[in-house]
Amino acid sequence: MKKNNSTPFFVFNKKELINNFKKYKKWLPENTEICYAMKANSEMPVLENLNKIGASFEVASKYELELLKKIGVSGERIIYGTAVKPEDDVKDFVHYGVSRFAFDSLQELLKISRQAPGAHAYVRVLVDDKSDSVFHMSEKFGTSLKEGVNLLIKAKELGLIPYGISFNVGSQARNSRAWARGIHDVGIMMKMLLEKGIEIKVLNMGGGFPHNYQNNDNIPTIKEISKHIHVACKKLPYRVNYIVEPGRGLVANTFTLITSIIGKTKRSNGYWLYLDAGVYSGLLEAMLCQGGMKYHVTPLSSRNTSRVKERFILTGPTGDALDVINRVVVLPKDIKVGDKLVVYDTGAYTFTLSTPFNGFPRTKIILK
């Protein structure tokens, strides 16, 4: 890393990305297709490296599809994973060779049947995503198990292939058994479908795989999660293939943010450090989950080794009072304006959630 790089900037480490992908391949069932959820981070270095190592992709819009077209990802390695989609956009995916589509209602199923006759349709069903996850999906997407069965029967009647069933346990799920519980629910559906002469081909376990931002022992690893997944899969009524849609779990630790201190002030509630990057530079989740999910922060220079520590409140450069990154960060007390900080694990939901608030430009990326 060049010392004269002006801040703020992100540093991308492709070795971490490759290692993360290998962990998922190692621990999940052998017949599992890893479809990277592009919403977590759709930067080209991420997409290009995942493409090279054979990942598939979960896409939620025609705009994400355009990014994959640029790097030559084939339609066979893409699933159109959002359950509700503009009907005209379905045609764009079909034209590119995509044949796998999610749905969670009759209206969405009819869109697929009209625009993608003969396609592989999989229904998204509701599972418990509120007990152990940070962000919940069930209010917006998914249908009941019983209705999911009815919809797959209808898909077959419409000439579509009743391809499979998917669920999502919520983002940053913290219970290692959450996916196994979802698999159990799908097993019930599989038995009901068998009675109607339908065997699905794929069980899609979705995403939600967490990242440990604060060295919290309660955050399960993919190894721990997979133990329960293997047990649950053995109890299914027949053999199927699997799909997972990791986003955060693959990219969270692949980027670090380097930012400079532009102001230091003591206020009634403590010391404040003003940085040249903030929640609108990509750290929006720090604001949404204040107190619940914090980024690890350290000084960049070893010069800042004062034994005397102080608690600081970190804030971004904008004029918005909500632009607060962390309200309790312990750093050397003598840290000063001009010093640089390292914000770790900033690969997920940073670039895709950044905005040019107050006119601040997009934070650049440096390849490690």
* CATH for 64: 3.20.20.10
Q: Average pLDDT of 121-130?
A: 80
Residue 80 has a CB neighbour count (10 Å cut-off) of 27
Predicted pLDDT at 122: 97
Percent of the chain at pLDDT > 90 equals 79
Split into its structural domains, the chain has a count of 2
Predicted pLDDT at 141: 64
Q: pLDDT for 39-83, tens place per residue?
A: 999 999 999 999 999 999 999 999 999 999 999 999 999 999 999
Q: Answer whether residue 6 is part of any domain.
A: no
Q: Answer whether residue 7 is part of any domain.
A: no
What's the predicted TM-score (pTM) here? 0.92
Question: Could you give the C-alpha distances from 211 to 8, 219, 297, in angstroms and in order?
Answer: 23, 7, 16
Q: Average pLDDT of 214-243?
A: 92
Residue where a domain stops, chosen among 200, 233, 252? 252
Q: Answer whether residue 284 is part of any domain.
A: yes
Tell me the pLDDT band of 136, cut-offs 50, 70 and 90. Answer: very low
| Whether residue 238 is found in the same domain as residue 271 | no
Q: Average pLDDT of 270-295?
A: 82
Q: Average pLDDT of 162-188?
A: 92
Predicted pLDDT at 272: 97
Q: Answer whether residue 4 is part of any domain.
A: no
Question: Could you give the C-alpha distances from 313 to 29, 93, 204, 334, in angstroms and in order?
Answer: 44, 46, 41, 15
Predicted pLDDT at 129: 46
Predicted pLDDT at 294: 78
Q: Is the pLDDT of residue 292 over 60?
A: no
| Whether residue 155 is found in the same domain as residue 40 | yes
Q: Which amino acid is at 245?
A: E
| Whether residue 71 is found in the same domain as residue 159 | yes
Tell me the pLDDT band of 302, cut-offs 50, 70 and 90. Answer: confident
DSSP structure string for 233-279:
HHTSSS--EEEE--SHHHHGGGEEEEEEEEEEEEETTEEEEEES--G
Predicted pLDDT at 66: 98
Question: Could you give the C-alpha distances from 317 to 125, 264, 272, 361, in angstroms and in order?
Answer: 42, 12, 12, 12
Predicted pLDDT at 140: 61
| Whether residue 103 is found in the same domain as residue 129 | yes
Predicted pLDDT at 133: 45
Q: Answer whether residue 131 is part of any domain.
A: yes
Question: Could you give the C-alpha distances from 46 to 49, 65, 225, 319, in angstroms and in order?
Answer: 5, 15, 24, 32
Average pLDDT over the chain, rounded to an integer: 91
> What residues make up the domain containing 263?
253-367
Tell me the pLDDT band of 291, cut-offs 50, 70 and 90. Answer: very low
Phi, psi of 256 (to 5 degrees): -125, 150
Residue 357 has a CB neighbour count (10 Å cut-off) of 16
For residues 306 and 88, the model is more confident at 88
Paired residues of 352 in beta bridges? none
Q: Is the pLDDT of residue 32 over 70?
A: yes
Q: Is the pLDDT of residue 311 over 60?
A: yes
| Whether residue 231 is found in the same domain as residue 268 | no
The radius of gyration of the chain's CA atoms, rounded to the nearest angstrom, is 22
Predicted pLDDT at 293: 62
| Whether residue 146 is found in the same domain as residue 236 | yes
Q: Answer whether residue 5 is part of any domain.
A: no
Sign of the CA dihedral running 10, 14, 15, 21: positive
Q: Which amino acid is at 243?
A: I
d(CA 138, CA 148): 14
Q: Average pLDDT of 298-302?
A: 88
| Whether residue 276 is found in the same domain as residue 154 | no
Instruction: Identify the DSSP state of 171.
Output: B
Chain centroid offset of residue 75 CA? 21
Instruction: Identify the DSSP state of 107.
Output: H
Q: Answer whether residue 3 is part of any domain.
A: no
Tell me the pLDDT band of 322, cut-offs 50, 70 and 90. Answer: confident
d(CA 55, CA 35): 6
Q: Which residue has the tokens 């589509």?
A: 101
Residue 317, domain CATH: 2.40.37.10
How many residues are given for the chain? 368
| Whether residue 150 is found in the same domain as residue 191 | yes
Residue where a domain stops, chosen among 233, 252, 271? 252
**DSSP E strand stretches across the chain:** 9-12, 32-37, 56-59, 78-80, 100-103, 120-124, 161-166, 202-204, 241-244, 255-267, 270-275, 297-299, 309-315, 324-332, 340-343, 364-367
Q: Answer whether residue 141 is part of any domain.
A: yes
Q: Average pLDDT of 103-114?
A: 97
For residues 170 and 182, the model is more confident at 182
Tell me the pLDDT band of 355, cut-offs 50, 70 and 90. Answer: confident
Predicted pLDDT at 4: 57
Percent of the chain at pLDDT > 70 equals 92
| Whether residue 240 is found in the same domain as residue 316 | no
| Whether residue 219 is found in the same domain as residue 265 | no
Predicted pLDDT at 174: 81
| Whether residue 246 is found in the same domain as residue 257 | no
Tell me the pLDDT band of 180, cut-offs 50, 70 and 90. Answer: very high
Among residues 210, 208, 174, 214, the alpha carbon closest in space to that of 344 is found at: 214
| Whether residue 260 is found in the same domain as residue 233 | no
Residue where a domain stops, chosen among 229, 252, 275? 252
d(CA 231, CA 107): 35
- CB under 8 Å to 233, separation ≥6 — which residues? 29, 183, 203, 242
